[in-house]
């Protein structure tokens, strides 16, 4: 069996990119805490896939928008698996397609809460659980952003794009804050990846637009996340990698 790397917590680990990341991390030697919102069947499947690889794994329901839930999530993973050494800040949602002049406040609030506010709550909890400043052994945070943060997503969801730009700024700023506390902070910007997050027909419409001529698979993002979480990326912090087929 691969040498143990410790315990990783993956938010949104039950489906899509987070599910693929959980399995890739288990393959790479991590025991995996799988956070999810409501799809316990999917999260249980990911736990089974990780344990089939010889690792320990645990599914925990928690809404990452709620600070108390985030604390409970970190407590449950620490109690069940041991001290956390890496956190994949992955849970996220898109909003329905539309122009900025059509958005109402509730929509904007929701997308910023789930994508940006939650990323800060999870990152803050990760620092409190991993930083040498708090008596821990250090670790890695990988923030899952989006190419939308750079492209802007005109006519689709500029609010989503802006919420992911906030995640990119979190990666840079937090990396500088905690670099001397044993924590590296990194990000990935996926492009068009085949998961359930897209509105019906979106991948058919846009899937061949990347220069590589196809949408990406969650496993192709997961590989990069596993690399960033590992010490194979030991001289990297404060940077975000595009995984977008050139788009
Ligand atoms: P997905 O298949 O829809 O999965 C989203 C995951 O996030 C699910 O596990 C869901 O839990 C969880 N989640 C959503 N809201 C949550 C909340 N409030 N609290 C806790 N968990 C919550 O999405 P995906 O495509 O894998 O996306 C994962 C990340 O990649 C997101 O941050 C997304 O913005 C980013 N991304 C995706 C793409 C793409 O093309 N797919 C491109 C760029 C960036 P349940 O399973 O319980 O519902």
The CATH number of whichever domain residue 153 belongs to comes to: 3.40.50.720
pLDDT in tens, 80-90: 999 999 999 99
Mutate to test the pocket of ligand 1, among 10, 11, 12 (most ligand atoms within 8 A of CB): 12
Q: Give me the pLDDT at residue 18, please.
A: 99
Ligand 1 centre from 132 Cα, in Å?
A: 30
Q: Would you say the C-alpha torsion 44, 48, 50, 54 has a positive or negative sign? A: positive
Contact 14, 62 (CB under 8 A): no
pLDDT in tens, 168-219: 999 999 999 999 999 999 999 999 999 999 999 999 999 999 999 999 999 9
Chain-centroid distance, C-alpha 111: 15
Contact 237, 243 (CB under 8 A): no
Residue 41: pLDDT over 80 = yes
Mutate to test the pocket of ligand 1, among 16, 20, 164, 198 (most ligand atoms within 8 A of CB): 16
144 lines ligand 1 (CB under 6 A): yes
Residue 2: pLDDT over 80 = no
Domain assignment of residue 186, yes or no: yes
Chain-centroid distance, C-alpha 59: 16
Is 160 annotated as catalytic? yes
Q: Average pLDDT in the 27-37 region? A: 98
Domain assignment of residue 125, yes or no: yes
Q: Give me the pLDDT at residue 210, please.
A: 97
Domain that holds residue 35: 6-243
Domain assignment of residue 1, yes or no: no
Ligand 1 centre from 233 Cα, in Å?
A: 24
Q: Give me the pLDDT at residue 3, please.
A: 81
Q: Which of 131, 123, 107 is nearest to 168 (CA)?
A: 123
Number of domains in the chain: 1
Ligand 1 centre from 33 Cα, in Å?
A: 16
């Amino acid at each position: 069996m691969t040498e143990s790397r410790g315990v990783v917590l993956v938010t949104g680990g039950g489906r899509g990119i987070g599910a693929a990341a959980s399995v890739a991390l288990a393959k790479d030697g991590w025991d995996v805490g799988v956070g999810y919102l409501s799809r316990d069947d999917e999260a249980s499947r990911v736990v089974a896939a990780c344990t089939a690889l010889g690792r320990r794994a645990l599914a925990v329901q928690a809404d990452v928008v709620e600070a108390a839930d985030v604390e409970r999530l970190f407590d449950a993973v620490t109690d069940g698996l041991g001290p956390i050494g890496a956190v994949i800040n992955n849970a996220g949602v898109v909003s329905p397609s539309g122009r900025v002049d059509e958005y109402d406040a509730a929509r904007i609030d929701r997308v910023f809460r789930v994508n940006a506010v939650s990323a800060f709550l999870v990152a803050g909890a990760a620092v409190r659980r991993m930083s040498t400043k708090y008596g821990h052994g250090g670790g890695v945070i990988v923030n899952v952003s989006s190419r939308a943060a750079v492209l802007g997503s005109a006519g689709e969801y500029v609010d989503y794009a802006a919420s992911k730009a906030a995640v990119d700024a979190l990666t840079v700023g937090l990396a500088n804050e905690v670099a001397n506390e044993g924590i590296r902070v990194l990000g990935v910007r996926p492009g068009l990846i085949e998961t359930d997050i897209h509105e019906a027909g979106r991948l058919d419409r846009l899937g061949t637009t990347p220069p590589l001529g196809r949408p990406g698979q969650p496993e192709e993002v997961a590989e990069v996340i596993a690399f960033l979480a590992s010490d194979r990326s030991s001289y990297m912090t404060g940077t975000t990698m595009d995984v977008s087929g050139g788009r």
